[in-house]
Amino acid sequence: MPIFQYGIDVSRYQGNVNWSQVAASGKQFAIVRLGSSNNSGPYVDPYFKKNVEGAHSAGMRVGVYYYTYANTRAKVLNELNTFLPALAGLKLEYPVFVDVEEASLGSLGRSTLTSLVRYAMDTIYERGYFPGWYTYTYYVQNYLNPADLEIYPFWIADYRGYVGYTGAWSMWQYSSTGTVSGVSGACDLDYAYADYLPQIVAAGKNGYSPNMTGPIMEEVTGQYIEAISPNAEYFYTASIYDIVGYLPMGLYRVLSVSLEPYGGFNWVTFSYNGGVYWAALTDDRVRLIRIDGDDDNEEMIAELEAQIAALEAQIAALEAQIAALEAQIKDLESGAQTEALQQQIQALQAQVQEFQGQVTVLEQKIAAAQAALE
């Protein structure tokens, strides 16, 4: 994929950097260390502000990173409460990266460590900054669940001349022994493959004001969106290019709706996981439903309960078929017939899961209708 910009990353260990010479050498961005921790706790890199201001003065784009040692959520917040205030008054064109490569964190296990990194990035986003994460190939392959983190930009380190990681990434630290005019000694060299600035500005992060363009919205009550497809996307802004990820199938409370189409879609804002996001209304992925607090809700609840009873009867019938097939398998030794029966069981189990998902959505609708009556 094409390189967007060429850059370096630096910390106090590079000392005083001549940023004019760095820019003249062809480097277009810098990722500056925001901080780390020692025996006294988190600290801001003493060269942080000087490096950010110097790179900006030389016309370079800037992002930051901090090295994390946090092994609990409390320690994540302790780090961020030290580092994020240092960003006040600055504008950053690249993300705020969580550098997770500390060997001792590997003992936490994939699930716990991944949860902590995601918590750190979610918190960074909620506090007004655009987050990302950094590590090296072996670490991501052995200590993290990248699928839970890839909604945020990934900056990967791999010094072998290629990236051995097969998942998604958008920045590559390809050397730790680079020589750059204006920097004494070795420094890290990077390629950026994405322009993060439009997303940052559109979301109003990293010191930038959000774009004022967008649909005219009206606040509403008693309305929900229903994600009716596993491909139901949701977004940071009213732009189909600013995707967060996919919504689990179900019901979500709407906060506002657009008064007219924008960018070819009618839009809503909705509440999810403690944040506010955007969704584009479509016939096949996300649809708007109204649940008002009136007498019609009682009739709706009765209809929904009848639908649930019918689905539960179908589930019970399918489970009976599965039990019968499993009994047949026990009477067989092996062979093609057994394999065919197992395939039938798998197909029936898939139907059971589908019906159970429908039951869950109907139960959500009942709960919303009951709440509207109260």
Concatenate the DSSP letters of all residues of 98-148 into one string: EE---GGGGGG-HHHHHHHHHHHHHHHHHTT--EEEEEEHHHHHHH--GGG
Question: Can you tell me the distance from the alpha carbon of 296 to that of 304, in angstroms, rounded to the nearest whole number?
Answer: 12
pLDDT of 372 > 60? The answer is no
| CATH hierarchy code of domain 5-203 | 3.20.20.80
Scanning the structure block, which residue is given the tokens 């798998």?
A: 346
Mean pLDDT, range 22-43, rounded to an integer: 96
Can you tell me the distance from the alpha carbon of 29 to that of 9, in angstroms, rounded to the nearest whole number?
Answer: 8
Tokens of residue 220, six digits:
């509403």
For the CA atoms of the chain, what is the radius of gyration? Answer: 26
Is the pLDDT score of 324 beyond 90?
Answer: no
What single letter denotes the amino acid at residue 298? E
Q: How far apart are CA 338 and CA 326, in angstroms?
A: 10
Q: So where are the chain's domains?
A: 5-203, 217-290, 296-373
Give the tokens for residue 356.
Answer: 């159970």
- Rounded CA separation 352/369 (Å): 26
**What is the pLDDT, as a whole number, of residue 179?**
94
Distance CA 277, CA 275 (A): 7
The burial class, CB within 10 Å (0-12 / 13-18 / 19+), for 311 is middle
Q: Provide CB contacts within 8 A for 61, sequence distance 6+.
A: 5, 7, 28, 29, 30, 55, 93, 94, 197
Half-sphere exposure of 349 (CA within 13 A, CB side): 10
HSE at residue 107, side-chain half, CA atoms within 13 A, is: 5
8 A C-beta contact, residue 191 and residue 6: yes
Instruction: Kindly report, residue by residue over 269-315, the tens digit of the pLDDT.
Output: 988 766 678 999 998 999 998 765 555 556 656 666 777 777 788 88
Residue 325's pLDDT is 80
For residues 20 and 69, give the distance between their C-alpha atoms in angstroms, rounded to a whole number.
33
**Greater confidence, 46 or 332?**
46
Three-state SS for 323? Answer: helix
Q: Please state the rounded mean pLDDT for residues 27-52.
A: 96
Instruction: Examine the pLDDT at 267 and tell me if it is beyond 60.
Output: yes
What is the distance between the terminal CA atoms of the chain, rounded to a whole angstrom?
Answer: 55
Output the pLDDT for position 243: 77
Which residues share a beta bridge with 251?
Answer: 226
8 A C-beta contact, residue 61 and residue 8? no
pLDDT-derived band at 374 (thresholds 50, 70, 90) equals: very low
Average pLDDT over residues 195-201: 86
Q: Residue 82 is inside which H or E element, if any?
A: helix 73-83
As given in the structure block, the two tokens for residue 41 are 């706790």
pLDDT tops 90 at residue 373: no
Q: Which of 134-138, 176-180, 248-252, 308-312 has the lowest mean pLDDT?
A: 308-312
What's the CATH number for 217-290?
Answer: 2.30.30
Cα 372 to the center of its chain, rounded Å: 32
What span, in angstroms and rounded, lies between the C-alpha atoms of 354 and 370?
A: 25
Residue 48 to residue 34: CA distance in whole angstroms: 6
Closest CA to 217 of 265, 258, 263, 260: 258
